[in-house]
Structure 1
Amino acid sequence: MRIRPMMLALLAGALPLSAFAATQNLLPAQAGDLVPALVHARMASPTAAVSSRLAPAAPQVHEERQPIQVSWALNATESLQATPQAVRRESREYWREVSDTELQRGVDLATTAPGAIIRLSPGQGGTRLQPADLRLQVGGKRFDGNAATRNVADTAQLQAAGMEATDASMALQLRTELGAGRTTLQAPKAHGRYVVYVYEPQSPLVVEAQADRPELLLGGNLQVALNLRDGAQQRALGAATGVLRSPDGETTPLSFQRRSDGSFVAMATPAKQASMPGLWEVQSTVTGTDANGREVRRNVNTAVAVAVPDARFIGNAEPRRAGDGGVDIALGVDIRSGSRYAVSGVLYARGGEGQQIPVAYAQSAAWLEAGAGELRLHFDPASLHGVAPPYELRDLRLQDQPAMGLVERRASALRFSL
């Protein structure tokens, strides 16, 4: 009866440890994870789809087929965020497109703080204007452009400052002694269309746009909240409108709903049939009032990375001890469109004080055709020095590299011991 355990011990010493790798299931998805609900094939590569709609003659992007695998140790004292946080956008500016007739008659602007910056950018048929061509009315008093402004910048100066200014653009900053409130901008010599931008660097009134996630799959839902902050306090918004803009410029109107705290929220859904991965943008316009009853206008844009759900983790993982003493994790994937896919993750292990600490990051990429496939993570043995099981794989990501799309992400994916 004691022969079998002895035989097993002898065999264990004779065979490589990798022979005892066990297939496990990935941990259940958590709230906030990005997991494809439906995987479908692309009719063409994302690069080709974008090129055909934006620039039919664009050259084809080189498709790298050489597999690659990297790994490096992490500083265990630095905290990591396994769930990326959506970017909060803030704005103290607004803009509107106007005709020459409107500018000749006078365009009403709203300012809430002294020293507002007004930028005029000619649009279709718009001609160049100079400060002397402008008339401003602030607080019931009239000024010509030169008398009302403290600083003026032309197109070259604006572009040197990193702004996307069109030719013949001009920005001028109002003198602080003029105060704030309702302002009328008039240009009797205006011809064509113009975009008028108003930026208030000294204003305490800031509109915030917060998306509930930084990335999305086509057909998924994105929630965007708009909030007006007055210094450290929140103020109720009067109204909010907006559109969802796709990478090719198509827009879909959004319906914002007022919440009890005075903020607004809208649900945006990049349509599956659009098949347009990339950066989608929610462009919003809000109005409100400040503590003195003056009108507040703001525009704010926030973007989200949208990917085609053309691949996913099947759900099985096989961790094993590698021949060099490191750790290998094989992950099954379901591929519906041939492309170069990358998998990455962070390995945690038990440190000297018994707590789980980040020890290594690994990534691998390979070209995979449609069907069942496999991607492997290899964690270098040097990064495992001084730590022990149990191990945990966190921040597991699957990316379609040519499309620059994140198709799946799991904050906590696997726990195992070797």
Structure 2
Amino acid sequence: MPTKHQLSFLLPVLLGTLCASAGAASRLELLPAQAGDLAAPAALARSSRMSMAMAAPEGRRDAAAVSWAAGAQPLAKPVPFVGESREYYTEVSGAELAAGVAIRTSAPQAVVRVQPTGAASARGAKPIDPRAIRVRTAQGKDFNNGAGMDMLVDAERLAKAGHGFAQGTSAFRLHPSLGAGTFTLRADAPAADAGARYLVNVVEPASTVALTLRTDAVHYLHGQQLVIHADALEPAARSAMPGAALQRRNLDKMAAVRVSPAGRTFPLEFKRGRDGMLTARHQLNADETPAPGLWEVRAGAEAGSGNTAVKRTLRMGMAVAMPQARFDGNVNLIDQTDKLVARFGVEVGAGGRYEVRAPVRHGQRRHGAGGGGAFGGLA
């Protein structure tokens, strides 16, 4: 059952105009939630099953107050992140790789990375040397032993480079003379373990087609509706310079899931709007055993069809929280002669420590000079 509390904070800037005399109190109310505000309809406690997994806070719970000078610039309005991808992943077996796996590129000099999956790597599957991969063009021309590749990096060299790629990753770049289109990659045994699975990643830095995912908010709370817009954009003119107008390329195939930090998976259904953009809406359920990390959307799409189709995959993180405390809307300002105290009404659904932080603007120092500051408190 939620409980109500009053949290008191000392304001670092005297606002004498608000309270006429020492000891006087002024009762205010917070403004209604504005567009983009993260406002919870209620303070919730996690389900009993989830709460048991959380250790109770220990030690003293003395309130603490901090303050610091604020800059003169107004607070910037948070803007939702836009994820962008010019690459895609596909998982194949060693047997499929030996038979030939087709990849599709929309621009020359695509970079191809191949790695054993985590399970395959754990059971001892060896990395595939790029020289053991044969490349066949759509016209049936074969390139062997590194021919048709502009750059080759085996797993050992890539690991030493320290770029953070998964263990066993090797890579190569298609030679610019091959252009773009459909290619077949083939790696026979023993280079490819028939019983293992491999992740093939095709990256197209030179491609003009990008898959984008955009949410309608920066942060979300349990119970709110997640809204995601998916789009495929490219320059309106093929020879357009950077910054030129973009046009929409039709997304013919779209599949996505939402994954929680604890590993729960929820499918997302995208529907096309009148403007041609795909949008998914999903009710968020954050009532789970707390785990580190962000929630994640994992999407795969194809823009166009047939030989002109462009494949893309994209993973995008987002913050989703359980609203275990919230403001109840009441604020009391108390003038104590040498300081001003603000008391905020807080509704709490679960025990813990909570921080209140806010900027103070257009204050007035003791000698009448205008000032600004910021304050935060912990209770």
Same fold (TM over 0.5): yes
| 1:90 counterpart residue number | 84
User: What is the CA deviation profile of residues 255-304 of structure 1, one whole-angstrom value per residue up to 9, with x for unaligned ones?
Assistant: 111223332111123325445575111111110139x9622010112222
Correspondence 1:51-90 to 2 at 5 A = 65-76=61-72, 78-81=73-76, 83-90=77-84
Does residue 44 of structure 2 align to residue 40 of structure 1?
yes
Does residue 139 of structure 2 align to residue 170 of structure 1?
no
| 1:260 counterpart residue number | 274
C-alpha distance in structure 2 between counterparts of 1:321 and 1:155, whole Å: 68
Does residue 345 of structure 2 align to residue 349 of structure 1?
no
User: What letter matches 1:238 in structure 2?
Assistant: D
User: What letter matches 2:372 in structure 1?
Assistant: V
| 1:103 counterpart residue number | 97
User: What letter matches 2:113 in structure 1?
Assistant: R
Does residue 119 of structure 2 align to residue 115 of structure 1?
no
Does residue 229 of structure 2 align to residue 216 of structure 1?
no
Does residue 349 of structure 2 align to residue 336 of structure 1?
yes
Does residue 126 of structure 2 align to residue 127 of structure 1?
yes
C-alpha distance in structure 2 between counterparts of 1:156 and 1:214, whole Å: 40
C-alpha distance in structure 1 between counterparts of 2:85 and 2:60, whole Å: 40
C-alpha distance in structure 1 between counterparts of 2:159 and 2:108, whole Å: 25
Q: 1:358 to 1:151 in 2, by over 3 A?
A: farther
Does residue 28 of structure 2 align to residue 24 of structure 1?
yes
Work out whether residues 17 and 320 of structure 1, in 8 Å CA contact, stay in contact via their aligned partners in 2. Answer: no
C-alpha distance in structure 2 between counterparts of 1:34 and 1:193, whole Å: 43
Secondary structure of the residue aligned to 2:373 is strand
Secondary structure of the residue aligned to 1:101 is helix
User: What letter matches 1:315 in structure 2?
Assistant: G
User: What letter matches 1:102 in structure 2?
Assistant: E
Secondary structure of the residue aligned to 1:80 is coil
Q: 1:50 to 1:65 in 2, by over 3 A?
A: closer
C-alpha distance in structure 1 between counterparts of 2:363 and 2:184, whole Å: 66
C-alpha distance in structure 1 between counterparts of 2:59 and 2:267, whole Å: 36
C-alpha distance in structure 2 between counterparts of 1:358 and 1:208, whole Å: 43
Q: Which one of the candidate residues 260, 275, 280 is aligned to 2:295?
A: 280
C-alpha distance in structure 2 between counterparts of 1:47 and 1:181, whole Å: 53
C-alpha distance in structure 1 between counterparts of 2:48 and 2:67, whole Å: 32
Work out whether residues 221 and 270 of structure 1, in 8 Å CA contact, stay in contact via their aligned partners in 2. Answer: yes
Work out whether residues 236 and 261 of structure 1, in 8 Å CA contact, stay in contact via their aligned partners in 2. Answer: no
Work out whether residues 220 and 226 of structure 2, in 8 Å CA contact, stay in contact via their aligned partners in 1. Answer: yes
Secondary structure of the residue aligned to 1:108 is strand
C-alpha distance in structure 1 between counterparts of 2:215 and 2:170, whole Å: 33
Give the deviation of 1:89 after TM superposition. Answer: 0.7
| 2:318 counterpart residue number | 304
| 1:384 counterpart residue number | none
Secondary structure of the residue aligned to 2:177 is helix
User: What is the CA deviation profile of residues 103-141 of structure 1, one whole-angstrom value per residue up to 9, with x for unaligned ones?
Assistant: 111111110111111111102333321112101123422
Calculate percent identity across the aligned residue pairs: 32
C-alpha distance in structure 1 between counterparts of 2:116 and 2:174, whole Å: 20
C-alpha distance in structure 2 between counterparts of 1:328 and 1:138, whole Å: 74
C-alpha distance in structure 2 between counterparts of 1:16 and 1:349, whole Å: 17
Give the deviation of 1:165 after TM superposition. Answer: 2.4
Q: 1:132 to 1:161 in 2, by over 3 A?
A: closer
Give the deviation of 1:313 after TM superposition. Answer: 0.6
Give the deviation of 1:16 after TM superposition. Answer: 9.1
Give the deviation of 1:25 after TM superposition. Answer: 1.3
Work out whether residues 81 and 215 of structure 2, in 8 Å CA contact, stay in contact via their aligned partners in 1. Answer: yes
Q: 1:333 to 1:154 in 2, by over 3 A?
A: farther
User: What letter matches 2:74 in structure 1?
Assistant: S
| 2:184 counterpart residue number | 184
| 1:396 counterpart residue number | none
User: What is the CA deviation profile of residues 41-68 of structure 1, one whole-angstrom value per residue up to 9, with x for unaligned ones?
Assistant: 23579897489xxxxxxxx998784533
C-alpha distance in structure 2 between counterparts of 1:29 and 1:38, whole Å: 13
More helix by percentage: 1
Q: Where does the alignment leave 5 or more consecutive residues of structure 2 unmatched?
A: 1-15, 236-245, 365-369
Work out whether residues 181 and 307 of structure 2, in 8 Å CA contact, stay in contact via their aligned partners in 1. Answer: no
User: What letter matches 1:288 in structure 2?
Assistant: A
User: What letter matches 1:73 in structure 2?
Assistant: A
Secondary structure of the residue aligned to 1:339 is coil
TM normalised by structure 1 equals 0.72
C-alpha distance in structure 1 between counterparts of 2:49 and 2:357, whole Å: 22
Q: Where does the alignment leave 5 or more consecutive residues of structure 1 unmatched?
A: 1-11, 52-59, 352-356, 367-418
Work out whether residues 246 and 276 of structure 1, in 8 Å CA contact, stay in contact via their aligned partners in 2. Answer: no
Work out whether residues 78 and 218 of structure 2, in 8 Å CA contact, stay in contact via their aligned partners in 1. Answer: yes
| 1:137 counterpart residue number | 136
